[in-house]
Structure 1
Amino acid sequence: MMTPMKRFAMPFFFGMTAMALCARPAAAQDTMARKSPSYPNIPVRAGQVLPLKDTVPVLFGQQAGANLLQSYGIVYGDELRNIPVTTLENTLYGKLAGLYLEQFSLKPGDDAADMNIRSAAPLIVIDGVPRSGTSIDPEQVASITILKDALGAAMYGMRGQNGVILVTTRHGYAGKKRISFTAQTAVQQMVKTPKFLGAHDYASLYNEALINDGRQPVYTAADLEAWRTGSDPLGHPDVDWYNTVLKDQAGMQRYNLNIAGGNKISRYFVDLDYLNQQGYFVTEPKNTYPTNNFYKRYIFRTNVDVDLTRTTLMSLSVFGRIRNGNEPGSRTDSIFRNILSTPNNAYPVFNYNGSLAGNNQYTNNVYGQVTRSGYRPTYNRNLAVDLSLKQRLDAVLHGLYVKGLVSFNSYYDEALNRSKSFAVYNVAMRPGVDTVIGKIGTDGEQSNSSSITSQNRQAYTELQLGYDSTFGKHQVGIAGLYYRDSYTDGSQLPLINSSFSARAAYNYDQRYLLELAMAYSYNNMFADGKRWGYFPAVGLGWNIAREAWFSDAVPSVGTLKLRGSYGLVGNNLRAGYYPYLQFYNTSGSYNMGNPATSASAIYEASLANPFLTWEKARKMNIGLDVATGNNKLQFSAEYYLHKLDDLMMRRGTNAGGMLGANLPLENIGKQTARGLELSAGYREQLGELGYYAKGNVNFARTRIDYMDEVIRRYGWNQRTGQTVGQIFGLVADGFYQSKEDAENSPALDGYTPVPGDIKYKDLNGDGTINVFDERAIGSDKPLIYYGLTAGISWKGIDLNMVWQGVANRSINMRGNNTWEFLSNANGGPGQAMEHHLGRWTPATAASATYPRLSVNGNINNQRTSTFWVKDAGYLRLKSLEVGYTLPQRWVSYLHLASVRAFASGYNLLTFTPLDRVDPESYLGGYPNQRIVNFGVNIQL
């Protein structure tokens, strides 16, 4: 069997030979005593970074944007600052074509949006190293580049399939020291909170639901009257739990200090950042410990570049981050679940004697959960150290260089348990009779334990050899490298990704462009013989505007570039932990023998697959770039087609129940992703008036080409051929309006309908509604997502805004936030909301917007169907910022360089067809937030 090195040698040799013959420079970050190819009149010396907005950070280097063939998008750090959010991901909404974000979690410290590049979750690379998480301060960011096609991600081989988000942090410069201090304070407000019914309406509807279910009502007319008048707040409570345990608003503060500067020998950038985000839970002054949820973050970064010699550059980066969180002992998620399952009439907050109220059906007093269940602090510590050394070898060959990089990253998470139990008391007050008080639960001692929830280490090494130069109108650049990325998760064996990678580019007069990239990459989680893979990619381009005949005819067009790329990339992220080895689990025990002896139960985990290998994607990208008027007006259009195969799936005809183990992952799936991305921008400066606008719109469609699904009788039942993640269900056809209507309609399998139930269409015409009548429901059109960024400045006043939106997006409404009276863990009936007032009754049959009410669920009405699948498109004013920079003549008296005051907002306006929920936070958990922020930036 060939060794990995021998298997690598032949493709690497031919790849490097081809690259040497046809290559172009990578617009090197550091050049020595020569002119920049992008800026021929600007001398560039060792350690100096070319003007960032005319070069684009790519994998393992930089390239001139005018000559770039890769499909990319870039946003710069000054566009991200002052947006009042806690994570970098949330600053990117609407800014980059091809990047789609959804914010499902909104809790402090865990509110980063999920990111997808062309329908796939990308690899995140920070300063050239794949790292975990992007919880960094935007003040540290120089740029964020997304690499979308195979050419841009090929050098990561079997980790490049989903695209790459490349974060580049700021460095120092040779010049006067600059000190910048920014202070911000914000107010967070909940948006689209649930509208629960008051106790009187709740009890009335609950009685009605019991009658609908053929049961007797439980609330008397006297009960209803007491709730209507509020005459008996202890015996007939009416508690708005949402507003009882949650505040209307919460604070957030951020302070940042950074210093940058340097000289011809050394340059530095130092950043210190503090963030404090508070939660909405109420607190009790008597507690000596915090019970509110909050998130505090402390960040330190220093980037230092030193010219050890005229040809040797050393760069050192140190990044430290401390994240401290807290939540009540009962946990944030549990509290929100209980709010959704505790009606206003369940119990009062307190009894007459000040004790916490409750009963056998509601043993967790929500107020007690928030304020008297102790607390749970969490601690996270990250440390990253990067050291690189770049040596130019011009004495050997002009433009030749070698670079080495080592990086160490550590991640440590610890959770403390300071929770405690509390008792609730059921008080029965009977006139003329002794009051009966029943105690439920215990007032326990506070716990005192801790656990390490994760402890990870990453060691990354890289060695790169490159060459870039210019010969007249010919520009070439070649880079070959080897990297090894070892990631250890706790006590597990390390996950090792490594690769021999190379890239070469050539352009003639910035007119004819060629780029080749490849990787021969490795992952140790697969079996021997399945660990190495070869991933090539190629790109071609033609800048028609550089042709003499075109530039003479249309001199105003500086760029008219046609480009295309095609390549193979892979994905090993879903492989898991040594999937080719058979593992066994232990759980519980069983008795054997006589007399019986207890023995541990050992059983097979998912079956192993020694043939499992990485997923593959063949990606094609075609683009057109246009720039006119000295790049004032820019336009890009891209079409992409991704053919994915060898996707890891389990067979749908799963015989795991018979085998006693889950079937293994296999490389059997096939999918297609295709789309169109359009982006345009315009900027202008007229004296003191400057303005700009840039927008993007994306059309994306995915399709399941093959999956081993169970045998389905009809074509409309099949998942194959549908969009990835497509919702399936019945087609609702109004409500049954009468008994005769129910009897004369197709029968429901396993259910006898009554008037007010949801009626469904019989798609196969067999007279029965069952799984064979389920089809794809919701939008069947391409997902559209778009963004518009615009701004204007005049005489020190500036205004910037971002609009962001989504169309053809469907969600399935379900659970306690949608359905009525869903019981809690102890069997008590859950909440009801204002939209339940539109339920079907004989009197409202013509206008009803909700089916008849039931207690504890209804298997017919709560089936997934078009009744519950809603259009979740929306348009948001995602962020708005207004600032004023004081005139220089004012601040010079204070010996300051500049002073800018600003106000900014986040999620200020939302337009959506959803009438009662936020389009991203729609299942009733932690609410989405509107943030209003005020700040000042002072520079020395």
Structure 2
Amino acid sequence: MKNLYYIILIYFLSMCTTLSAQQRDSTAYVMEGTVSDAMETLSGVSIIVKGKIGGTVTDFNGKFSIKASRGEWLVFSFIGFESFEYLVTEEKKNLEIRLLEKSTQIEEVVVTGVGTQRRISTLAAITTVDVKDLQVPAPSIANMLGGRVAGIVTMQSSGEPGKNLAEFWVRGIGTFGANSSALVLIDGLEGDINSIDPADIESFSILKDASATAVYGVRGANGVVLITTKRGEAGKLNIVGRANWSLSQLQRLPKYLRAYDYAQLANEAYELRGEKPRFNNTQLAIIEDGLDSDLYPDVDWQSEIVRPLSFKQTYYVSGRGGGEIASYFVSLGASDESAAYKAEKNNLRASNAGYDTYSFRINLDIDLTKTTELKFNSDAFMSINNRPGDISSTDYIWQSQAWLTPLIFPIQFSNGQFPGASVPGTNAPIGASPYVVINHTGNTKLQEHQSHFSMTLEQKLDFITKGLKFRMLGAYDRDGG
């Protein structure tokens, strides 16, 4: 019996020791630090505790904060980089994590001067983007690269239709002045990344370092983007269609005071400066009761000229097929995006501002003989940007809704005339309020178009040396506006 007591006591003490150790190991640490690559900090890096649900991401400066217990593993992952695991042993506030880019070992060079391949062995920083990741509604392909491809920096300076196309750089700006952006090659020829529909793309690759872009010389110093479009395939006709509708809302609009509250604050400002109040009691009573809309209007300029909701619709259809001798790929696309300006209904002189695009592409392959192939490519793109009135920049409209006071002048006088005034210090037309610019001065149509034609003749010369080919390419571009 005495031995039984000893056994129970030893078992109890061991259980207490185990629980105490587990309690110490389960202490939650707050791990903070920065994630970077060889050149800069990385934003949007996913950080999770291995084996647990949930996690966090790094902020714009690459910083993070996450709770983890001793003995747990933190997993850092980001597109285009090798995943990294860190064992938590103690709490750290300045942890520095460096991720390594995924390097693709290739036995064939991805490109030559015109995008063809030749057989060598090299190690280069090349990122291949899954085309499925590009099949999302966006103003352009450039807008979708930021946050999806490692080393790509994008900047969108405006949300206005036609101006919401992002600029992008590969590993930052390496050359200042002209040609500071990456070289974009579409089917081996320089093109515009914003004019191609994502559904037309067969493969999408980005060459980043000097070893990958050396064949392009100085022009490829800022990186090279290689885009190969879809081509025909032997078989039955395959038709693909797509229709997208999207609704955008301006979320962070400031709320401005109405006339009476503005007048009271204006009087306080005058009194603080030791001056006579701007509005006397009689004027304040007229403003409060809205008795004279000509001399003392109460205009909410934001609600009069800004529409918080805008609508965009895109349509796309393509056909793909062919036989033993010839194959083809044809596509058509169109989009219509409205601007966030509030126009009068049933007013033929209203601006109807927006941005419309139309695109066309045809790729035709013909086997002239068993060793001779003829390829014909043609594409066209047209954009139409409708802007309110005859103004060089729509910044005036956005400045007006913020700078105009509710008492400055009415939308329209009681006699039917419009005020001949504008916002001082802006690029507004002389004698035109923003309401008049949108609804009674028509619109300015900016139209741009570009078309490209190319023909390639490829002759196999296997009878001389296996794999030897002769390739002749001719191209014609036409741009205008």
**Counterparts of 1:338 and 1:175, CA distance in 2:** 59
Contact 2:170–2:208 (CA<8 Å) still a contact in 1?
Answer: yes
Give, as a single letter, the amino acid of the residue that structure 2 aligns with 1:123.
L
Post-superposition offset of 1:134 = 2.2
Contact 1:329–1:374 (CA<8 Å) still a contact in 2?
Answer: yes
Post-superposition offset of 1:184 = 2.0
Higher relative contact order (CA 8 A, sep 6+): 1
Encode CA deviations 1:321-342: one digit per residue, 9 max, x unaligned.
Answer: 2222211114323222322321
1:270 and 2:330 equivalent? yes
| 1:377 aligned residue | 445
Post-superposition offset of 1:63 = 6.2
| 1:432 aligned residue | none
Provide the secondary structure at the position in 1 that maps to 2:195: coil
| 1:199 aligned residue | 259
Match of 2:388 among 297, 310, 328: 328
Post-superposition offset of 1:205 = 3.5
Provide the secondary structure at the position in 1 that maps to 2:243: strand
Post-superposition offset of 1:227 = 4.1
1:106 and 2:159 equivalent? yes
| 2:363 aligned residue | 303
Give, as a single letter, the amino acid of the residue that structure 1 aligns with 2:415.
N
**Counterparts of 1:65 and 1:289, CA distance in 2:** 62
| 2:36 aligned residue | none
| 1:431 aligned residue | none
Post-superposition offset of 1:358 = 5.2
Match of 2:214 among 137, 151, 154: 154
1:345–1:181 distance in 2 versus 1, CA, 3 Å: same
Q: Which runs of 5+ in 2 are unaligned?
A: 1-105, 174-180, 425-430
Provide the secondary structure at the position in 1 that maps to 2:212: helix
Encode CA deviations 1:505-561: one digit per residue, 9 max, x unaligned.
Answer: xxxxxxxxxxxxxxxxxxxxxxxxxxxxxxxxxxxxxxxxxxxxxxxxxxxxxxxxx
| 1:389 aligned residue | 457
Post-superposition offset of 1:299 = 0.8
| 1:93 aligned residue | 146
**Counterparts of 2:117 and 2:208, CA distance in 1:** 16
| 2:296 aligned residue | 236
**Counterparts of 2:107 and 2:197, CA distance in 1:** 32
Contact 2:423–2:433 (CA<8 Å) still a contact in 1?
Answer: no
Post-superposition offset of 1:132 = 4.1
**Counterparts of 2:422 and 2:478, CA distance in 1:** 47
| 2:127 aligned residue | 73
Contact 2:305–2:401 (CA<8 Å) still a contact in 1?
Answer: no
Contact 1:86–1:135 (CA<8 Å) still a contact in 2?
Answer: no
| 2:171 aligned residue | 118
Encode CA deviations 1:659-716: one digit per residue, 9 max, x unaligned.
Answer: xxxxxxxxxxxxxxxxxxxxxxxxxxxxxxxxxxxxxxxxxxxxxxxxxxxxxxxxxx
> Superposed, which structure 2 residues align to 1:837-856 within 5 Å?
none
Post-superposition offset of 1:198 = 2.6
**Counterparts of 1:65 and 1:105, CA distance in 2:** 44
**Counterparts of 1:344 and 1:58, CA distance in 2:** 63
Contact 1:26–1:61 (CA<8 Å) still a contact in 2?
Answer: no
**Counterparts of 2:255 and 2:113, CA distance in 1:** 49
Post-superposition offset of 1:215 = 4.4
**Counterparts of 1:376 and 1:365, CA distance in 2:** 17
| 2:402 aligned residue | 340
**Structure having the larger proportion of residues in helix:** 2
| 2:74 aligned residue | none
Contact 1:123–1:159 (CA<8 Å) still a contact in 2?
Answer: yes
**Counterparts of 1:153 and 1:285, CA distance in 2:** 54
Provide the secondary structure at the position in 2 that maps to 1:235: coil
| 2:419 aligned residue | 357
**Counterparts of 2:209 and 2:317, CA distance in 1:** 37
Post-superposition offset of 1:384 = 0.4
Provide the secondary structure at the position in 2 that maps to 1:69: strand
1:89–1:361 distance in 2 versus 1, CA, 3 Å: closer
1:186 and 2:186 equivalent? no
1:114–1:216 distance in 2 versus 1, CA, 3 Å: farther
Post-superposition offset of 1:91 = 2.5
| 2:198 aligned residue | 138
> Superposed, which structure 2 residues align to 1:204-603 within 5 Å?
204-212=264-272, 215-228=275-288, 230=290, 232-285=292-345, 287-289=347-349, 291-331=351-391, 332-357=394-419, 363-413=431-481
Provide the secondary structure at the position in 2 that maps to 1:202: helix
1:293–1:78 distance in 2 versus 1, CA, 3 Å: same
Give, as a single letter, the amino acid of the residue that structure 2 aligns with 1:113.
A
> Superposed, which structure 2 residues align to 1:724-873 within 5 Å?
none
Provide the secondary structure at the position in 2 that maps to 1:370: helix
**Counterparts of 2:458 and 2:126, CA distance in 1:** 26
**Counterparts of 2:153 and 2:119, CA distance in 1:** 23
Match of 2:108 among 26, 49, 55: 26
Post-superposition offset of 1:107 = 1.9
Give, as a single letter, the amino acid of the residue that structure 2 aligns with 1:378.
L
Report sequence identity in percent: 31
Encode CA deviations 1:301-340: one digit per residue, 9 max, x unaligned.
Answer: 0011222222222211100122222111143232223223
**Counterparts of 1:214 and 1:64, CA distance in 2:** 81
Give, as a single letter, the amino acid of the residue that structure 1 aligns with 2:126.
Y
Post-superposition offset of 1:118 = 0.8
Aligned residue pair count: 362
Contact 2:317–2:331 (CA<8 Å) still a contact in 1?
Answer: yes
**Counterparts of 1:66 and 1:175, CA distance in 2:** 34
1:290–1:204 distance in 2 versus 1, CA, 3 Å: closer
Post-superposition offset of 1:300 = 0.7
Contact 1:252–1:277 (CA<8 Å) still a contact in 2?
Answer: yes
Post-superposition offset of 1:258 = 0.1
Contact 1:348–1:358 (CA<8 Å) still a contact in 2?
Answer: no
Give, as a single letter, the amino acid of the residue that structure 1 aligns with 2:331.
D
Contact 1:58–1:166 (CA<8 Å) still a contact in 2?
Answer: no
Encode CA deviations 1:620-644: one digit per residue, 9 max, x unaligned.
Answer: xxxxxxxxxxxxxxxxxxxxxxxxx
**Counterparts of 2:119 and 2:214, CA distance in 1:** 19
Across the aligned residues of Structure 1 and Structure 2, the Cα RMSD in angstroms comes to 2.8
Give, as a single letter, the amino acid of the residue that structure 2 aligns with 1:346.
I
Give, as a single letter, the amino acid of the residue that structure 2 aligns with 1:119.
G
What is the TM-score of this pair, normalised by structure 1? 0.36
Provide the secondary structure at the position in 1 that maps to 2:221: coil
Provide the secondary structure at the position in 2 that maps to 1:195: coil
**Counterparts of 2:415 and 2:196, CA distance in 1:** 49
1:138–1:329 distance in 2 versus 1, CA, 3 Å: same
Q: Which runs of 5+ in 1 are unaligned?
A: 1-23, 28-55, 414-940
1:165–1:274 distance in 2 versus 1, CA, 3 Å: same
1:361–1:170 distance in 2 versus 1, CA, 3 Å: closer
Encode CA deviations 1:841-860: one digit per residue, 9 max, x unaligned.
Answer: xxxxxxxxxxxxxxxxxxxx
Contact 1:189–1:250 (CA<8 Å) still a contact in 2?
Answer: yes
1:360–1:272 distance in 2 versus 1, CA, 3 Å: closer
Encode CA deviations 1:873-898: one digit per residue, 9 max, x unaligned.
Answer: xxxxxxxxxxxxxxxxxxxxxxxxxx
